[in-house]
Chain A
């Protein structure tokens, strides 16, 4: 049950794109199409942004997209906006009804 690996930080100017990686193993990210991404603003609860690798819940802008290759998943935020500045966590089903989160990435809008 080791945490998935994310870069500690990422940044971009308004209008630009930023991509965050999430690296796991064949027992979690690589083994299932149950990768999610969560956005968390300071002092707030996490919010689901992407589920099942690339699906967007209702109400999430299409600027947010997800993908996966092997044991690494990615979240891309296109057309960065000030309100996108937040912490982002990936999460993956890890088998045997266990769940594992990533280490988290702080996204800064320059």
Chain B
């Protein structure tokens, strides 16, 4: 998931629908994965995380799925609300001596229509 300067992909949904946002990562050594929500002009806000020894983790209205075989993450948002409109980024952490050093995916713009 390197940033190559392209426009971010977009996802438009109706309020109440479920949203699925996908992300690919490239580092097979990564063992910790996080989803962030970023609203305009703000820093990333933690949503949910998952470690490599799991393939699914659920939070409040959100679920993260991890497929290490194909290096793919997804974020599922249930009953999407207008307040969920934002840019969503996945990030992976290769750990080692620099925990917290993240590589961000391209990002997806989520727009929720009332």
A and B: real partners?
no
